[in-house]
Amino acid sequence: MTALDEIKIGGLGASRKRVEDDRFIRGKGNYLDDIVLPGMLHMEILRSPLAHARITSIDTTRAYEIPGVHLVLTGEMMATRNLAWMPTLSYDTQAVLATDKVRFQGQEVAAVIADDPYVAKDACEAIVVEYEPLPAIVSPAQAVADGAPVIRDDKENQADNVIYTWEIGDKAATDAAFAQADLVSTMKLHYPRSHPSPIECCGSVADFNRATSKLTVYMTTQAPHIIRAAVALVAELPEHMIRIVSPDIGGGFGNKVPVYPGYVCSILASILLERPVKWIEDKTGNLISTGFARDIYLDGELALRKDGKILGMRMHADADHGAFFSDAQPSKFKIGLLHSTFACYDIPAAHLTARGTYSNKAPGGVAYRCSFRVTEAMFFQERMIAAAAADLGVDPAEFRRVNFVRDEQFPHRTAFGFLLDSGQYAKCLDVGLRAIGYEEFRKRQEQARAKGRLLGLGISTMTEPLGAGNSREYDILGIKMFDSAELKVHMTGKAIVRTGARTQGQGHETTWAQIVAHELGIPAQDVVVEEGDTDTAPFGMGTYASRSTPVAGAAVSMAARKVRAKARKLAAHLLEVSEEDVEWELGRFYVRSAPDRGVTITECALAAYSNMPDGLEPGLEATAFYDPPNLTWPFAVYIVTVEVDPATGVWDVLDVVAVDDCGVRINPMIVEGQIMGGLTEAYAMANMQFITFDAEGNCIGSNYMDYLLPTAWETPGFELHSEVVTPSPHHPIGAKGVGECAAVGGPAAFVNAVLDAVGHLGIRNIDMPLLPDRVWEAITERHDVSGAPPVRSEG
């Protein structure tokens, strides 16, 4: 026997079909709403119709009169158990159920627990709440205006609506760079609110068992271990008596990272009633109250030399966080990793300031398919780069090439202190330009323009810091960021691997088995992957920020290597040679001097239970904790061509080319799926997704009539390229994260394409979404169109 064929056993690089899809496409998944426990009750939430109002009274009498109602929770009741407020992941507090005031439309005011969800919903309508309306704040400018009402008057020492001010970089060096500039280019834009809107909404089934004192909570969460710790601390329950189970998840996209009031209410209700309590959000609840992202005003400038070299960058961010500062992000950084902006460009000096403010909107700024605000960072970067190239009158592709971090500069320290691990930026750009037919398109564009047709080409590049931690720099609420994996090889050579990550559609059940196949030669189909149950899964920080492959995936590799080290001892014993004389090739150990004499990994597994050498612990399993030395930095180039109809402002996508370098691809087909999904979301954000607020704080876009999800019909086709592979030098298998790249880098490519088509008319910016009326207004009025100011409410 010789080494196994890695692709045949489903190892690294095999486009193995996703094993989880078998149950998903047959409708056999086990999602939260599929969980039915004996004696289970149902919870519904009453939400505030107003954005900002004092609560003068809540009368639950009529709700209690409805047959089938077991409990009505109010903020006042929660307060008696110290649960009216809960801590957030960013050292703020968030109301679980409102007591004093409501602070955004859709805020949780009361919860009814009843025999079935319809009764619970009816009972919610029977609760009488009296409100005294207050003026609403819907933008950072309003939040800091003189005389603005203080939204968070619940907090001691909070005299205004500012949450934080933050800065990073070298101000003096940046000022000096600007003093030397031949030209200063500016950009001001608003990245609007967006919502992850996974198919499945959030929910929980809490099951407190008085007999055993054990609390089991089935919950749509991307980070079950963190939730267990949070429940232990907030509800003051012992951690070993809490079991969080995250069942199959119908998409997360960041929506299922935060802790929501519904979870807490269902847990308290189960403890009080000693019965399982299920809460499932409806679509409106999900769209109006959970997991908003972005809503940030970015204002920056580049110091440029005549020859196209960028000398310095400065920017200011005004972030609208909504009523509670509840972002999940590393504690050290107030505005996530926004300072990853311009990381792929070699810029000597940079300075960033940020201010976060409260508003009467649902908590926002929560990550949506972006490693802690990298989406905003890259969008700003690529819009700014496009504008600066135009200001300088240089070719935008060439401008990027001149300023890229060069291959020989890695590892490269950015002006904000990140250490880029590896990359081949110019090569990716070349592949993209060739694929889109750059030179030919420019000619076509010119000819078309002469006939009054508007063609445009937009380039966007991005690099993303993926894989938090290392634990030195990254923690959430003081909990250091790392991950672990546990691998057990059974005596017949089959195996189970568990991690503290939680797949939500990314395919971990498929890819982790491929890593084991790569390390041990155990065919992937013989490895089962399990995640999401805190009673069985080893500790992990969860799945977000595309950290699973960089951290949990690396831990799988390391656990498998520990198993291989032990198997080597077993092999030496079986082969009757010393360990030093044993060599490894995929699936098999052999004697160096006699390669024909060997034993398979399966034979070693059996020996671990039946024929181990004296003094060797039986069994073949290992746990590895992995604290990455650095983040992984994938890179991508996205190029989009469009045609804008000057008469209507409607724009059609002609071609989309994507060149992603995420290092070694474990499963190329899954990676392509991730990229296509991300590009679809990028297209949606650029083209159609619109959540805004009127002057009274009414949320416009809290339904799928206003907030559009693209279907296969309107989504353009994508041409994907995988020929550039720069392994991460510090990751055990050279893989970098990829789950968010296209959603991060994609939007600017679409927007840059439209602005390239209309830029010669003197238009420098149109804020997303680039709805036809905005584009048409820009063309006909020949001015920039900002979507930022609140929409005036009618009547």
Specify the residue, 220 or 371, whose C-beta has the smaller distance to ligand CUN.
371
Residue 738 interacting entry, from ligand MCN, ligand CUN, none, C-beta within 5 to 8 Å by type = ligand MCN
Binding residue for ligand MCN, selected from 591, 670, 682, 691, defined by CB under 6 A? 670
Residue 257 interacting entry, from ligand MCN, ligand CUN, none, C-beta within 5 to 8 Å by type = ligand CUN
Binding residue for ligand MCN, selected from 545, 567, 685, 755, defined by CB under 6 A? 545
**Per-residue x/- mask for ligand MCN, residues 308 to 337, rule CB under 6 A?**
------------------------------
Candidate segments 119-127, 383-391, 428-436, 539-547, binder of ligand MCN by CB under 6 A: 539-547
Q: What is the rounded CA–CA span in Å between residue 442 and residue 457?
A: 8
Min. distance of Cβ 226 from ligand CUN in angstroms?
13
Identity of the amino acid at 427? K
Contacts of 279 (CB under 8 A, 6+ apart): 42, 43, 44, 45, 111, 203, 204, 205, 262, 263, 265, 266
Paired with 94 in beta bridges are 86
For 517, list phi and psi in degrees, rounded to 5. Answer: -60, -40
Min. distance of Cβ 541 from ligand CUN in angstroms?
11
Residue 745 interacting entry, from ligand MCN, ligand CUN, none, C-beta within 5 to 8 Å by type = none
Specify the residue, 526 or 681, whose C-beta has the smaller distance to ligand MCN.
681
Candidate segments 246-254, 513-521, 577-585, 680-688, binder of ligand CUN by CB under 6 A: 246-254
**Per-residue x/- mask for ligand MCN, residues 16 to 55, rule CB under 6 A?**
----------------------------------------
Binding residue for ligand CUN, selected from 75, 250, 254, 550, defined by CB under 6 A? 254
Q: What is the rounded CA–CA span in Å between residue 730 and residue 631?
A: 9
Of residues 484 through 513, those in contact with ligand MCN by CB under 6 A are 504-508, 511
Candidate segments 340-348, 580-588, 694-702, 731-739, binder of ligand MCN by CB under 6 A: 731-739
Q: Phi-psi category of 594—alpha, beta or left, where left has phi over 0 and alpha has psi -120 to 50?
A: beta
138 part of the interface to ligand CUN, by CB under 6 A: no
Specify the residue, 673 or 729, whose C-beta has the smaller distance to ligand CUN.
673
Specify the residue, 643 or 740, whose C-beta has the smaller distance to ligand MCN.
740
545 part of the interface to ligand CUN, by CB under 6 A: yes
Of residues 367 through 396, those in contact with ligand CUN by CB under 6 A are 367-371
Q: What is the rounded CA–CA span in Å between residue 109 and residue 121?
A: 13
For 531, list phi and psi in degrees, rounded to 5. Answer: -145, 160
737 part of the interface to ligand MCN, by CB under 6 A: yes
| Binding residues for ligand MCN, total number by CB under 6 A | 36
Specify the residue, 361 or 665, whose C-beta has the smaller distance to ligand MCN.
665
Specify the residue, 21 or 583, whose C-beta has the smaller distance to ligand MCN.
21
252 part of the interface to ligand MCN, by CB under 6 A: yes
16 part of the interface to ligand CUN, by CB under 6 A: no
Pairing of strands 719-721, 293-304: unpaired
Where helices occur in 543-619 by DSSP H, the ranges are 554-575, 601-610
Residue 724: count other Cβ atoms within 10 Å of its Cβ: 21
Tell how many helices (H) and how many strands (E) occur in the chain: 19, 34
Residue 88 interacting entry, from ligand MCN, ligand CUN, none, C-beta within 5 to 8 Å by type = none
435 part of the interface to ligand CUN, by CB under 6 A: no
Q: What is the rounded CA–CA span in Å between residue 699 and residue 345?
A: 38
Specify the residue, 6 or 696, whose C-beta has the smaller distance to ligand MCN.
6
Q: Compute CA distances 370 → 269, 477, 739, 745, whole Å.
A: 34, 20, 9, 10
Contacts of 699 (CB under 8 A, 6+ apart): 105, 106, 288, 361, 362, 691, 693
Residues marked active site are found at 222, 369-370, 740
> For residue 531, how far is the Cα from the chain centroid?
18
- Whether 47 and 109 have beta carbons less than 8 Å apart is answered as yes
Q: Name the 3-class secondary structure at 215.
A: strand
Rg (CA), the chain: 27
Candidate segments 62-70, 253-261, 381-389, 414-422, binder of ligand CUN by CB under 6 A: 253-261
Output the residue with the shortest Cβ distance to ligand CUN: 254
Pairing of strands 128-133, 53-59: antiparallel
| Residue showing tokens 């390229």 | 721
Specify the residue, 676 or 761, whose C-beta has the smaller distance to ligand CUN.
676
Residue 511 interacting entry, from ligand CUN, ligand MCN, none, C-beta within 5 to 8 Å by type = ligand MCN
Which class for 572: exposed (0-12), middle (13-18), buried (19 or more C-beta within 10 A)? Answer: buried
Residue 549 interacting entry, from ligand MCN, ligand CUN, none, C-beta within 5 to 8 Å by type = ligand MCN
Q: Name the 3-class secondary structure at 502.
A: coil
Q: What is the rounded CA–CA span in Å between residue 247 and residue 784?
A: 47
254 part of the interface to ligand MCN, by CB under 6 A: yes
Residue 385: count other Cβ atoms within 10 Å of its Cβ: 25
Binding residue for ligand MCN, selected from 178, 208, 218, 253, defined by CB under 6 A? 253
Residue 708's nearest CA partner among 195, 238, 294 is 195
Of residues 143 through 162, those in contact with ligand MCN by CB under 6 A are none
90 part of the interface to ligand MCN, by CB under 6 A: no
Identity of the amino acid at 602? T
Residue 663 interacting entry, from ligand MCN, ligand CUN, none, C-beta within 5 to 8 Å by type = ligand MCN
**Per-residue x/- mask for ligand CUN, residues 195 to 234, rule CB under 6 A?**
---------------------------x------------
Residue 472: count other Cβ atoms within 10 Å of its Cβ: 10
Residue 735 interacting entry, from ligand CUN, ligand MCN, none, C-beta within 5 to 8 Å by type = ligand MCN
Specify the residue, 249 or 779, whose C-beta has the smaller distance to ligand CUN.
249
> For residue 186, how far is the Cα from the chain centroid?
29
Q: What is the rounded CA–CA span in Å between residue 87 and residue 83?
A: 10
Min. distance of Cβ 542 from ligand CUN in angstroms?
8
Q: What is the rounded CA–CA span in Å between residue 436 and residue 668?
A: 22
Specify the residue, 216 or 221, whose C-beta has the smaller distance to ligand MCN.
221
Min. distance of Cβ 48 from ligand CUN in angstroms?
26
Candidate segments 118-126, 140-148, 251-259, 313-321, binder of ligand CUN by CB under 6 A: 251-259
> For residue 6, how far is the Cα from the chain centroid?
31
Provide the greatest CA pair distance for the chain. Answer: 89
Here the tokens at position 794 are: 């009618």
Q: What is the rounded CA–CA span in Å between residue 597 and residue 604?
A: 14
Of residues 342 through 371, those in contact with ligand CUN by CB under 6 A are 367-371
Min. distance of Cβ 743 from ligand CUN in angstroms?
9
Q: Compute CA distances 251 → 201, 206, 369, 504, 671, whole Å.
A: 9, 21, 11, 5, 16
Binding residue for ligand CUN, selected from 110, 119, 215, 257, defined by CB under 6 A? 257
**What residues line the site for ligand CUN (CB under 6 A)?**
222, 252-254, 257, 367-371, 544-545, 740
Binding site for ligand MCN (CB under 6 A): 198, 251-254, 369, 504-508, 511, 543-549, 553, 662-667, 670-671, 674, 677, 735-740
